[in-house]
Structure 1
Amino acid sequence: MAEALTQTLDLEALRSFVAVARLGSLAAAAEQRHRTVGALSMQIKRLETHLGTRLMIRGARGMTLTASGDALLGEARELLRRHDGLVARISGRGLSGRVRFGMPEDFASHLVGRLLPDFLARHPDVVLEAVTATSGQLARRLERGDLSLIVALDRPHRLSGGERLWRTSPVWAGARDLSLSADAPLPLALHPVDCPYRQLGIEALEAERRPWHAVFTSTSIHALETAVEAGLAVSILEQDRLTPAMRELGDAEGLPRLADCHAELHYGRGVSATSWPAVEALGEMIRARLGHRG
């Protein structure tokens, strides 16, 4: 083992290792890295030989990390980030390429307010395209190759291989002076299908056999909040979006508990080699800034 530690690790092999770990597939990583599956497999084997330990195991669901591989992953990402930053500073060439980033509107203020401007200030040559949509829509656009990376909730359209960032805090929200009748169907203000909180609420109500009907439907979070403040309907909102005109509803109103939900970071598989360093840089910034938000 002491002899293995004196050997220099191949940075390109580390890049391939990180790509396979992120995508969960040698074939997908080979496509992104513009290499053959055999070449990537040999790079991983050389890393394992140099480190004297197994890093990955091939299974029915693709490549999974061993305990040693999981420990290496964070260190490898940090090493590559520092290396690429050093090269950019000394050579005078910063990151470039195109980054297409998607996020739910509910969390846009946390991302657009400071994080994205800071990213562009650090990397002015990167072309950034940011969009908001429901988590279900974002997941489908990522799978189609329309987006480079997304922050999305882990429902209703679940994606594999994401990095969990935080646990969200959805609550039943109503106007401060709202009075509900236990016998009448619950009036709801909802996003259209593909919204995680819509699914959470409907699942919880149907499990309790509580009747409901959609009074107001909109793609705009601000429109839903206005409907709640006006007393038109009840909605499911992130707890920190409650305004002074709202109150959190729950047991006293006969409303069921909402299931847990998590925000995750997902990368696209069709990112070009020239754009990938910029995509990864934004992902690292999101992870650093928002990874412990919940």
Structure 2
Amino acid sequence: MPEVPVAALDLELLRSFQAAAQLGSLAAAAQQRHRTVSAISMQIKRLEETLGSRLLERGSRGVTPTAIGEALLQESRELLRLHDGMLSRFTGRGLGGKVRLGLPEDYARELLGSVLPEFMAYHPDVLLEVVTATSGELARQLSRSQLTLGVVLDRPHSLPGGETLWLTTPVWAGPRVGGLGTRPRLPLALHEVDCPYRALAIESLEAIGKSWHAVFTSTSIHAVEKAVEMGLAISVLDRERLTTAMRELGPEDGLPPLKRCEARLHFARHIDAASQPAVDALANLLRERLSQRGPWRTGGSSGPESRRPPSWR
């Protein structure tokens, strides 16, 4: 009985589609995959013909996945992960290469304490470097490919592309006792320029005509928190960072509401081919652990979710 021919997916086509969908640009995908733009375009066209569906919408600002393309993006990550993991097990070659990851300082403590040590334990041959900075500085480094991968808040500088991991919960933080919010000129503890929460604080106060002055400025989140705890100033922090020496302030204290920020995962435009599997593995881990909830409970759960075998190995 003759065999019925079955369409097969070319993994290289999937990798090119994944790069274009993640980066939002055929040109960026071509640079990352070390191919020409026309080659990437042809690969995606062949994949669309194989599946009989349009996968990317082309526009003046780049490409975005269609509904079918978004579904394929999710499933292709798992397929490529399984393929690469099986290949490394049977060939005896684990993941290697170099990954330079950028993180906002406000979230570095939680990620350094749980997610990243786990990744390094499973991939000891990957040279991982972690950089913490303001989101504005991280955005600049990503645009220059000085970072391979980054978690960046969408303020004050919004990078094109990327994918949302979680929404932040910024709040006005004041000392447990005292009435700093009622002063004619609001004393603020702020990060340097390029900090999303600095931008949020200033925009919100200026929108209601509230006078303010920066009584304390630091690059350290811990120094800013200490200034609040000691009653020196008010600041904008993620709600999860409030300590017992602080309280959340709001309209009753004369302070305006704050907009939420998106924490987004971004890839560099150029990634060395030898490092790409390691970059993808770390990106999958970040998606799995941070999607829709952020870093606050990544290492503290003892429930069924924490015992689920990771899907990024």
Q: TM-score, structure 1 length as denominator?
A: 0.96
Unaligned runs of 5+ in 2: 295-313
Deviation, 1:270, is 1.6
**Alpha-carbon separation, structure 1, partners of 2:64 and 2:262:** 22
**Alpha-carbon separation, structure 2, partners of 1:193 and 1:95:** 37
Deviation, 1:111, is 0.8
**Does the alignment pair 1:151 with 2:157?**
no
Q: Which moved more, 1:191-200 or 1:43-52?
A: 43-52
Which string of whole-angstrom CA distances, capped at 9 and with x for unpartnered residues, describes residues 64-101 of structure 1? 22222111111111110110011111111011000000
Q: Which residue does 1:101 correspond to in 2?
A: 101
Instruction: Give the share of equivalent positions with the same residue, in percent.
Output: 63
**Alpha-carbon separation, structure 2, partners of 1:70 and 1:198:** 34
Aligned to 1:28, the other structure's residue is in SS state helix
Unaligned runs of 5+ in 1: none
When the two chains are superposed, the root-mean-square deviation of aligned CA atoms in Å is: 1.4
Deviation, 1:181, is 6.0
Aligned pairs for 1:195-274 within 5 A: 195-274=195-274
Aligned pairs for 1:137-216 within 5 A: 137-180=137-180, 182=182, 184-216=184-216
Residues 17 and 44, structure 1, Cα contact 8 Å, conserved in 2: yes
**Alpha-carbon separation, structure 1, partners of 2:197 and 2:292:** 21
**Alpha-carbon separation, structure 1, partners of 2:49 and 2:128:** 39
Residues 191 and 198, structure 2, Cα contact 8 Å, conserved in 1: yes
Residues 173 and 248, structure 2, Cα contact 8 Å, conserved in 1: yes
Aligned to 2:114, the other structure's residue is in SS state helix
**Alpha-carbon separation, structure 2, partners of 1:215 and 1:257:** 22
Aligned to 1:47, the other structure's residue is in SS state helix
Aligned to 1:8, the other structure's residue is in SS state coil
Aligned pairs for 1:105-116 within 5 A: 105-116=105-116
Aligned-partner residue type, residue 63 of structure 2 = M
Aligned residues: 291
Aligned-partner residue type, residue 12 of structure 1 = E
Which string of whole-angstrom CA distances, capped at 9 and with x for unpartnered residues, describes residues 108-136 of structure 1? 12210011111011111000000110011
Deviation, 1:22, is 1.2
Residues 5 and 51, structure 1, Cα contact 8 Å, conserved in 2: no
Aligned-partner residue type, residue 157 of structure 1 = H
The change in CA–CA distance for 1:177 and 1:199 in structure 2 (over 3 A counts) is: same
**Runs of at least 4 residues of structure 1 off by over 4 A?**
none
Q: Which residue does 1:121 correspond to in 2?
A: 121
Deviation, 1:164, is 0.5
